[in-house]
Amino acid sequence: SASPQATIATGSLPSTIRHPRVLVTGSLGQLGSGLVKELRSMYGNENVVASDIRNAPEDFKANGPFVFADVMDYAQLEGIVVDYKIDWIVHYSALLSAVAEKNPALALSVNMTGFQNVLELAKVHGLRLYSPSTIGAFGPSTPKIDTPDVTIMRPNTIYGITKLHNELLGEYYREKYNVDFRSARYPGILSADTPPGGGTTDYAVDIFHHAVRHGHYDCFLKKDTRLPMMYLSDCIKGTVDHLVHPEMLPQAVYNIAAVSFTPEELASEIRKYLPHFTISYPDPAHPDFRQAIADSWPASLDDSMARRDFGWKEEFGMEKMVKLMLDKIQAQVD
């Protein structure tokens, strides 16, 4: 468990007092549980409070504090911040692109009101706030290749609009009230143990489960749709390095990227291990609704500023990632 005397880089905290106490919203999602585990290994179980709007499995609750928290309820969140003496919030609660497009009203409240609540709490209580953005914050008029941090941003999905709103509001609070707001634009995240939650990039996870279990996948995107992607452990490492960086960084929002591939390229890589794997694509006359979302996003990102400012560097390229995904999913089936 955490030593109260430890000297660590806590940013706004006096550096020799204690470990930061972190609240993670949306902790039961694709990324939350891995991040909570990593932060607990650094700061002690009791210093990382996991929260969500559903009950956690007993084994998750046994590892450290878990609280029910609705991000749309400011008073409830504030109670948690005060009771647990929270220093940093990692805000993961959000509706992803496909689910948001099906339910715009809910996306507006969860993604925007939820974010406004944590941002206001960060201002009132002097907290550091990390809240990821996404490649979805870009739009069809954004340059598609090596998209830089600062460029044309005119998203045309409800998800992108909510996330761009959050980026701008976070930057405003940083400028105006000195809130230590940090954000990275995540690409699609691949993980074998935790399922993605309703995004356009989910095909890149589903494909592995179908390949191992059924030898075939019906892809909902066209074969040449190129999107930026990353393996989960890289995303968690990049997030932690960004979060714990001791000083306020030059930018509030950074691109982070690892690899970019198309469904066809991913299928070929999978075929190196499962030679009989087959994949089919939608009838061009009847594209899936997620095709238009994917077509509005960049194919690759320029993340040189993240590499410069907080040492971002991925460990997993395509080959290593595909091999690990297949090994892990095969182990689940055996």
Q: What is the largest distance, in Å, between two alpha-carbon atoms of the chain?
A: 64
Distance CA 271, CA 264 (A): 10
Q: How far is the CB of 294 from ligand AKB (least distance, A)?
A: 8
Choose between 30 and 51: whose C-beta lies nearer to ligand AKB.
30
Q: How far is the CB of 170 from ligand AKB (least distance, A)?
A: 16
CA angle 174, 83, 194 (to 5 degrees): 70
**Alpha-carbon torsion (41, 42, 43, 49), positive or negative:** negative
Q: How far is the CB of 247 from ligand AKB (least distance, A)?
A: 27
**Contact (Cβ atoms closer than 8 angstroms) between residue 45 and residue 20:** no
25 φ, ψ (degrees, to nearest 5): -85, 155
Q: How far is the CB of 83 from ligand AKB (least distance, A)?
A: 32
Choose between 8 and 190: whose C-beta lies nearer to ligand AKB.
190
**Alpha-carbon torsion (79, 124, 56, 35), positive or negative:** negative
Other Cβ atoms less than 10 A from the Cβ of 117: the count is 23
Chain residues binding ligand AKB by CB under 6 A are 96-97, 134-136, 159, 186-188, 199-201
Q: How far is the CB of 62 from ligand AKB (least distance, A)?
A: 29
Distance CA 313, CA 36 (A): 21
Q: What is the DSSP string of 67-94?
A: EE--TT-HHHHHHHHHHTT--EEEE---
DSSP state of 275: T
Choose between 10 and 162: whose C-beta lies nearer to ligand AKB.
162
**Contact (Cβ atoms closer than 8 angstroms) between residue 265 and residue 229:** no
Q: How far is the CB of 95 from ligand AKB (least distance, A)?
A: 9
C-alpha distance across the termini of the chain, in Å:
35
What are the Cα distances from residue 166, in Å, to 109, 162, 171? 12, 6, 8
Distance CA 88, CA 98 (A): 29
Choose between 180 and 202: whose C-beta lies nearer to ligand AKB.
202
Choose between 47 and 200: whose C-beta lies nearer to ligand AKB.
200
Tokens 């046994």 belong to 62
- The question of whether 84 is a catalytic residue gets the answer no
Q: How far is the CB of 64 from ligand AKB (least distance, A)?
A: 27
**Alpha-carbon torsion (238, 244, 248, 252), positive or negative:** positive
> Annotated catalytic residue: which of 84, 159, 254, 281?
159
Q: Of all residues in this chain, which one has the CB nearest to ligand AKB in the complex?
A: 199
Choose between 86 and 229: whose C-beta lies nearer to ligand AKB.
229
Choose between 155 and 187: whose C-beta lies nearer to ligand AKB.
187
The letter for the amino acid at 127 is: L
**Contact (Cβ atoms closer than 8 angstroms) between residue 250 and residue 15:** no
Task: Give the catalytic positions in this structure.
Answer: 159
